[in-house]
Amino acid sequence: MRARSPGRRVTLVCTAAFVLGVTVFWLADFLLFWLRLAGSQLCGPVESRGELCRTLAQRPDLQHFALVVLVSAAALGSARWTVRWCLQPIRELEPVIASVGPQNLGYRINPDDGDAEIAVLARAIDAMMDRIAMGYEAQRHFAANAAHELRTPLAVQRTLIEVGLARATSPDKLELVTAQLLETNERNERLIEGLLVLSESDRGLVTKIPLRLDEIVAGVLDDHETQAREAGLTITRTLAPRVVLGERVLLERLVTNLVQNAIKYNRPDGTIEVEVGGEPALTVTNTGDDVPPGVVSGLFEPFRRLSGTRIDHSGGAGLGLTIARSICRAHDGVIAAHSSGRDGLRVEIAFPAQRPR
């Protein structure tokens, strides 16, 4: 859409109005002059003219012409002042808008209520600044989330490298460490690629392909069976065929975060129930400490962690559910957490319905 200059539009309107007024004025003057001329020819000698004829004949031509020129010049000369006066509120907005930057994204014009054009424009600018501030804050959180997700794999890589450099490492163990290091590196590459795709799209994923959510969940659960068994937990799965449009790496990260969260915030001899179906598409329920209802809504905020006991006391910045929520939104999904009323937590995810492949 081509932007139109309001100053040019006001100038054209004012000029057209003035030209029209001057034209009407000149036409009226010409009509009166024609009537006077015609009257002088029709009325005859001065001594025999009537009252109307004498009035027309006595009109001073030079004085009248000077008046017309003066009025026309004044009308055209006031056009510039009128345009500047009309555009003054817009000019007053210019320094305000120019002063807004990353350091003061919270600044707003806050115009008065009303239907005036400038007030409507100012409110639209404030709404635009709200959206920009939200996007800027989302990018900042994204950077923190990405750093958190990459911290643990990098620590694993460092440990494997240190083991590989140990002098007492046997060839068989060195080969195993090398294979694990390569696998960890490949997962990091897939994760970085998926995060970059997510960061570059304001509306979600750029490309989406049909994926079997039940197969993705089954793969993630298989990877965590050993960890759950060592923690004394039992994982039960009910996986029905379910297709989701999205990106595999991010969906794997979504399920992984939920499963790891269910393992970490659990109790010995506890359970983890994972269901994949129609609606909701994915449900993860774990035993553990009861979660107060007032705390549930804040679990998806960054750096929020439950204060109760947990099996896994390893480090974590409390970004797992925050990233899960971001991935859900990228897939047009909705994630919600509910307290079971007894112990533990139930997380439900809904995705748009798709036909099974």
**What string of pLDDT tens digits covers the 357 residues of the chain?**
444 555 566 666 667 776 776 676 667 666 666 655 555 555 545 454 455 455 545 555 555 566 666 766 776 667 667 777 777 777 777 787 787 777 777 878 887 777 677 788 888 888 888 888 887 887 777 677 677 777 777 888 888 788 777 766 677 877 888 888 888 887 777 677 666 655 654 456 778 899 999 999 999 999 999 999 999 999 999 999 999 999 998 899 899 989 999 998 898 899 999 999 988 999 999 998 878 877 887 888 765 666 544 444 444 445 678 888 888 988 999 999 998 666 789 999 999 977 655
Cα 47 from Cα 281, distance rounded (Å): 108
Structure tokens at 220: 């993630």
The end-to-end CA distance of the chain, in Å, is 42
110: left (phi over 0), alpha (psi -120 to 50) or beta: left
Q: Which tokens in the block code for residue 287?
A: 């035993």
Burial-class residue 112 by CB neighbours within 10 Å (0-12, 13-18, 19+).
Answer: exposed
**DSSP 8-state symbol, 342:** S
Number of Cβ atoms within 10 Å of the Cβ of 311: 18
Contact between residue 288 and residue 265 where contact means Cβ atoms under 8 Å apart: yes
Residue spans of alpha helices (H) in 231-343: 248-264, 293-296, 320-330
DSSP state of 232: T
What gap in Å lies between CA 130 and CA 144, rounded to an integer? 21
Superfamily, domain 209-350: Histidine kinase-like ATPase, C-terminal domain (3.30.565.10)
CA distance 335 to 327: 10
Report helix, strand and coil shares of the chain as percent, to nearest 5: 60, 10, 30
Domain extent listing, the chain: 6-99, 140-199, 209-350
Q: How far apart are CA 170 and CA 177, in angstroms?
A: 10
Rounded CA Rg of the chain: 39
pLDDT at residue 207 in the model: 82
The answer to whether 286 and 270 have CB atoms below 8 angstroms apart is: yes
pTM: 0.54
Integer Cα distance of 267 and 232 in angstroms: 8
Say what angle helices 6-43 and 61-98 make with each other, to 10 degrees. Answer: 170
> Exposed, middle or buried: residue 94 (CB in 10 Å: 0-12, 13-18, 19+)?
exposed
- Do the Cβ atoms of 196 and 249 come closer than 8 Å? no
Helices (H), 99-206: 117-165, 171-199
Q: Given CA atoms 146, 152, 155, 160 in this order, what sign does their dihedral have?
A: negative
Per DSSP, 239 falls in state E
Which helix H or strand E contains 305, and what residues bound it? none
Distance from C-alpha of 346 to C-alpha of 298, rounded to nearest angstrom: 14
Asked if residues 67 and 22 have their Cβ atoms less than 8 Å apart, the reply is no
Tokens linked to 230: 């060592």
Q: Could you give the maximum distance between any two Cα atoms of the chain, in Å?
A: 139
